[in-house]
Chains A and B, each alone.
Chain A
Amino acid sequence: MSPARTTLVAGAVVSAGTLLLAGCSGTSDTSSTSRDSINYALPANFTPNWILPIGTAAHLNTNNRSIADSLWERLVAYDGSTGKIAWNKQASLATAADFASDSKSVDITLGDRSWSDGKPITSRDVEFWFNLIKANKAEWAGYNPGKAPDNWTSFKTVDERHFTITFDQAYNSEWMLANQLSEITPLPQHVWDKTDASAKVSDADRTAAGAKKVWTYLNTAAKNISGYDKDALWKTISGPYSVKSFSTSGKVVLAANKKYDGGEKANIATVNLLPFTTADAEKNALRSGSVDYGYIEATDLDQKDRFTAQGYKVEPWSGWAITYMPYNFNNPAMGAVFKQLYARQAVQRSIDQTSLAKVIFNGTAVPGYGPVPQAQASDFVSPEQKDNPYPFSTSAAKSLLTSHGWQEKGGVMVCTEPGTGDSQCGEGVAEGTKFEMQVLSQSGSTVTDNMMSAIQSSLEKTGIKFSIKTAPVNSVLSQTPQCTSDQSVCKWQLSFFGTAGSWYFNAFPTGDSLFQTKGGSNFGNYSNPEVDKLITASTTSASSQAVRDYSAAVAKDLPVIWLPAPDYQISVVRNGLGGFSQDSLANFHPAQWKWTK
């Protein structure tokens, strides 16, 4: 027997034997958690790698941001810690934001707060952030052309604790506060405003050239992960925690900031953020009792009793998100079909979201019928979206196609009546076109695989052939970019990257990135001038009716295939750990955690 074959055979027998025995394996509780510390499980395959509270594209991650927010508080912190997404003034450096009556400027008041070195937090620290972002906006991950900082025309300091930001036009104050001003994090200008480590602190940020140099210096310093716990640069903080250690392998230890003078003081002295290479490894750590706040997958929900018996409570963490599958409207083969509303309606009516949410997701997902998250109650969802404009019915879906010039041949719908008439296939759809489409779907999730199988099955009943190709999520994102029909990369037809939700919104759920013509994350090149107008209105109108109008229009126009929005995470939390609600904006806030018994 060759060595390679011996290895294969032995591997198979051992692997399969292990699997066969898996059902017999037990658990052990080795819990010995101190009440002065907590072990929090980071998402599988994620390693924290950025501490600077200014995200760049290469380091954009909600967990990085949660760590940074624990060290440097935001000017206006929005979270769902009270059960509803709102301005959390306890965790903010600003105490008031007064919009002008014409909605073209805002006066902001800072609280009487200090940095950890005792120096006061002033308007200058906000101006420092403002100048850095203005001069380096292209490198800032939060930048969208036309939005902040483009729409902020001036920053005027009134005094040490008051300043005014002026806009280029009137904006919806809620959107401006929740989606734009909430991006600001006052930075310690008296420590960071220098162009290299040996330079003296100055007002370098007040010129564009100087601000670029300061930006480069800070970003270069932030790339040195092993220096996070030693570099003096990161010792001047405003948040409830400081970095005690930060391993390049992913483990982060935060220690309570004893100089913190804000409203969200740390309750637990030491926070251990633990990395895991796989969800299974994390689950095993939970079973061994070495994690206080972890997670399981939806398919494990039937093991809830096992975790409950081990001293945990299982709490789904709902996200402020929507989940969808974008169509590529520029695909040379199927783009013309996707552009027909009746065709999109037929696809949507073939998807049984209620059953998917209940069966495939074990009840840990909520059907979504439009562009506004529906897992939480909000004033943003229109009645049209809420009522599901296209309820599941494969017979109705079939009728939609047959009444528009399609005939089922060999189980697949084929266009037999091309043309632009009411009963014809529509513009650009050639005779003989088969309704066949392929999705490039995120791999690695049994739930996603099962959902795709179920969708494939129900679409087949309508006469639509749906084939599935899988790839790691990064490959999916890189292989399904915005494109024009003449580009070779435009072969993709449908894309799915929403195993944990496709899109997490800021507090105000606008669609400027997703569904506006040429929007930055409008992957499928959807374009509808009416929707564009409604999106613009939603960010400029003073009334929240504008968002509901946008919600109704997009729910009906189906720019994407709407799918159930899964919970961000099925959390498993040790009994006695409380004092917080899980933030639907998908951030974690260690300062809110406390041991209650």
Chain B
Amino acid sequence: MSAVLQTQAPTLELATGYRLSVRRFARNRLAVAGLVVVVLFLLFCFVGPLLYSTDQTHTHLTQVNLAPSGAHWLGTDAVGHDELGRLMFGGKTSLLVGLAAGLLATVIGTLWGAVAGYAGGWVDAVMMRVVDAGIAIPALFILLVVSAITTPDSLGLILILGLVSWLVPSRLVRAETLTLKSRDYVLTLRAIGGTHGRAIFRHILPNSVSTIVVAATFQVADAILLVAYVSYLGLGVQPPSTDWGGMLSAGLTAAYSGRWWLIVPPGLAIILVVCAFNAVGDGLRDAFDVRGRG
């Protein structure tokens, strides 16, 4: 009976811990600003098209490269798409792919790291050598090769990015697991016959959630950047779809033509969103850090 009570104790402590973390996060102005920026961009890309409707499917060759005006707030691009509408349209892809790929990478990395850390021994050694080998190969190189072979759509990009980005979170979660698996409540669970799965999913992962959440925010930021890189190099989603990296790449040809509206908005969007996710990640890390509580 006492063993059961002991295994439940950390979960009860978590609730109090989270309240403290939220309070600490709310005091971090940069993190809150980042969160606000993320939310605003999500609204801009997903709700914005309902309020500012544009045709992003067809080209309009009679309205190319128009400067910002009342009709087109951010002007038009080289094939006549409204640039503000395109920014929303492209942002959907960038954010959707970034979020989904970041979460996919976190899920894979979390499971891999938890299993490796919990199993230990040769299983851990083999699994982590796989991670070491994967980290040795630049993700961008793998992305370029895969993108050159296939024509990625949004789903394809999510899978590709997710499958090349899980290595770092797996290391973080493994380290956390190595610590947690020797805690009393895990050892007690094992002693009373609890399964390995229960140990991992009921006790280790919930207690690693701070590490996982922080890693996830950084993964999302990294994934948004990787999408931008791949698209900038012309290997992203194909027309009529686009994303901010693709818009930046297309706009670059106008760098000396004074058409700033093709370069500045997508460039700013990438910078702001990536910095915002990083600020949120930093804020979460500080908020979850027990050393800072008091």
Pick the most buried of A8, A20, A302: most chain B CB atoms within 10 A of its CB: A8
Q: Mark B249-270, 1 if CB is under 8 A from A, else 0.
A: 1101111111010011001101
Partner of A9, one of B64, B78, B225: B225
Interchain nearest-CB distance for B263 vs A (Å) = 5
Interface members, chain A 323-381 (any B CB < 8 Å): 352, 355-356, 359-360
Interface residues of A (CB under 8 A from B): 1-2, 4-5, 8-9, 11-13, 16-17, 19-20, 22-23, 25, 297, 299-300, 302-303, 306, 352, 355-356, 359-360, 443-444, 446, 449-450, 452-454, 456-458, 460-461, 467-472, 475
A299 to B78, CA, bound (A): 9
Q: Mark B226-267, 1 if CB is under 8 A from A, else 0.
A: 101000001100111000000011101111111010011001
Q: Are A446 and B256 in contact (CB under 8 A)?
A: no
Interchain nearest-CB distance for B270 vs A (Å) = 6
Interchain nearest-CB distance for A283 vs B (Å) = 8
Partner of A359, one of B64, B252, B260: B64
| Chain B residues near A297 (CB-CB < 8 A) | 253
* Given A449-B250, A470-B235, 7 further pairs, Cβ under 8 A: A1-B218, A5-B221, A12-B225, A13-B275, A22-B256, A299-B253, A299-B257
A20 to B268, CA, bound (A): 8
Interchain nearest-CB distance for A561 vs B (Å) = 17
Q: Take A299-B78, A443-B234, A460-B57 as given contacts and tell me if A19 and B250 are in contact as well, using a CB distance cutoff of 8 Å.
A: no
A458 to B58, CA, bound (A): 8
Query: B126 interface residue, CB < 8 Å from A?
Result: no
| Chain B residues near A9 (CB-CB < 8 A) | 221, 225, 274-275, 278
Query: B286 interface residue, CB < 8 Å from A?
Result: no
Partner of B263, one of A13, A22, A443, A458: A22
Query: B82 interface residue, CB < 8 Å from A?
Result: no
Query: B182 interface residue, CB < 8 Å from A?
Result: no
- Give the dominant DSSP class at A's interface: helix
Query: B146 interface residue, CB < 8 Å from A?
Result: no
Interface size on B, residues (CB 8 A): 44
Q: Are B263 and A20 in contact (CB under 8 A)?
A: yes
Query: B271 interface residue, CB < 8 Å from A?
Result: yes
Interchain nearest-CB distance for B25 vs A (Å) = 18
Query: B151 interface residue, CB < 8 Å from A?
Result: yes
Q: Are A20 and B267 in contact (CB under 8 A)?
A: yes
A472 to B267, CA, bound (A): 26
Q: Take A456-B239, A468-B238, A471-B148 as given contacts and tell me if A16 and B270 are in contact as well, using a CB distance cutoff of 8 Å.
A: yes
Q: Are A12 and B271 in contact (CB under 8 A)?
A: yes
Nearest B residue to A24 via CB reads B260
A349 to B37, CA, bound (A): 47
Q: Are B264 and A452 in contact (CB under 8 A)?
A: no
A356 to B61, CA, bound (A): 8
| Chain B residues near A300 (CB-CB < 8 A) | 253, 256-257
Partner of B61, one of A2, A454, A456: A454
Interchain nearest-CB distance for B98 vs A (Å) = 12
Interchain nearest-CB distance for A58 vs B (Å) = 23
Q: Are B79 and A453 in contact (CB under 8 A)?
A: yes
Pick the most buried of A12, A446, A450: most chain B CB atoms within 10 A of its CB: A12
A355 to B60, CA, bound (A): 10
Interchain nearest-CB distance for B18 vs A (Å) = 24
A444 to B254, CA, bound (A): 15
Q: Take A20-B267, A446-B78 as given contacts and tell me if A457 and B234 are in contact as well, using a CB distance cutoff of 8 Å.
A: no
| Chain A residues near B222 (CB-CB < 8 A) | 4-5, 8
| Chain A residues near B256 (CB-CB < 8 A) | 22-23, 25, 300, 303, 306
| Chain A residues near B7 (CB-CB < 8 A) | none
3 smallest A-B Cβ distances: which pairs? A22-B255, A469-B151, A457-B59
Nearest A residue to B255 via CB reads A22
A452 to B239, CA, bound (A): 8
Q: Are A460 and B238 in contact (CB under 8 A)?
A: no
Pick the most buried of B58, B148, B256: most chain A CB atoms within 10 A of its CB: B256
Q: Are A453 and B64 in contact (CB under 8 A)?
A: no
Q: Are A5 and B218 in contact (CB under 8 A)?
A: yes
Interchain nearest-CB distance for B249 vs A (Å) = 8
Q: List 16 A-B contacts (CB under 8 A).
A: A4-B222, A12-B228, A13-B271, A17-B267, A22-B263, A23-B263, A299-B254, A300-B253, A444-B234, A453-B79, A453-B240, A457-B79, A461-B58, A470-B151, A471-B148, A472-B148
Query: B168 interface residue, CB < 8 Å from A?
Result: yes
Q: Are B221 and A457 in contact (CB under 8 A)?
A: no
| Chain B residues near A19 (CB-CB < 8 A) | 248, 252, 255, 263, 267
Interchain nearest-CB distance for A298 vs B (Å) = 10
A317 to B4, CA, bound (A): 84
Interchain nearest-CB distance for B293 vs A (Å) = 22
Interchain nearest-CB distance for B291 vs A (Å) = 18
A23 to B218, CA, bound (A): 31
Interchain nearest-CB distance for A223 vs B (Å) = 29
| Chain A residues near B135 (CB-CB < 8 A) | 4
Partner of A469, one of B238, B254, B264: B238
| Chain B residues near A306 (CB-CB < 8 A) | 256
Q: Are B264 and A20 in contact (CB under 8 A)?
A: yes
Q: Take A9-B221, A468-B238, A468-B239 as given contacts and tell me if A457 and B57 are in contact as well, using a CB distance cutoff of 8 Å.
A: yes
| Chain A residues near B151 (CB-CB < 8 A) | 469-470
Q: Take A300-B253, A359-B64 as given contacts and tell me if A450 and B267 are in contact as well, using a CB distance cutoff of 8 Å.
A: no
Pick the most buried of B135, B228, B271: most chain A CB atoms within 10 A of its CB: B271
| Chain A residues near B240 (CB-CB < 8 A) | 453, 456-457
Interchain nearest-CB distance for A153 vs B (Å) = 48
Q: Mark B266-290, 1 if CB is under 8 A from A, else 0.
A: 0110110011001000000000000
Q: Take A303-B256, A446-B78 as given contacts and tell me if A16 and B218 are in contact as well, using a CB distance cutoff of 8 Å.
A: no
A457 to B79, CA, bound (A): 10
| Chain B residues near A360 (CB-CB < 8 A) | 61, 78-79
Nearest B residue to A27 via CB reads B256
Q: Mark B41-70, 1 if CB is under 8 A from A, else 0.
A: 000000000000000011101101000000
Nearest B residue to A352 via CB reads B61
Q: Are B148 and A8 in contact (CB under 8 A)?
A: no
Interchain nearest-CB distance for A41 vs B (Å) = 17
| Chain A residues near B238 (CB-CB < 8 A) | 467-470
| Chain B residues near A452 (CB-CB < 8 A) | 239
A468 to B152, CA, bound (A): 11
Nearest A residue to B282 via CB reads A1
Partner of B260, one of A23, A299, A446, A475: A23
Interchain nearest-CB distance for A445 vs B (Å) = 9
Q: Take A302-B257, A469-B151, A470-B238 as given contacts and tell me if A22 and B57 are in contact as well, using a CB distance cutoff of 8 Å.
A: no
Nearest A residue to B58 via CB reads A457
| Chain B residues near A450 (CB-CB < 8 A) | 59, 78-79, 250
Nearest A residue to B215 via CB reads A2
| Chain A residues near B254 (CB-CB < 8 A) | 299
| Chain A residues near B148 (CB-CB < 8 A) | 471-472, 475
Nearest A residue to B63 via CB reads A359
Partner of A12, one of B235, B255, B258, B274: B274
A37 to B254, CA, bound (A): 33
Interchain nearest-CB distance for B171 vs A (Å) = 9
Interchain nearest-CB distance for B259 vs A (Å) = 8
Interface members, chain B 51-102 (any A CB < 8 Å): 57-59, 61-62, 64, 78-79
Pick the most buried of B62, B168, B238: most chain A CB atoms within 10 A of its CB: B238
A297 to B58, CA, bound (A): 25
Q: Are A446 and B250 in contact (CB under 8 A)?
A: yes
Partner of B258, one of A23, A446, A456: A23
A110 to B35, CA, bound (A): 82
Interface members, chain B 123-177 (any A CB < 8 Å): 135, 139, 148, 151, 168
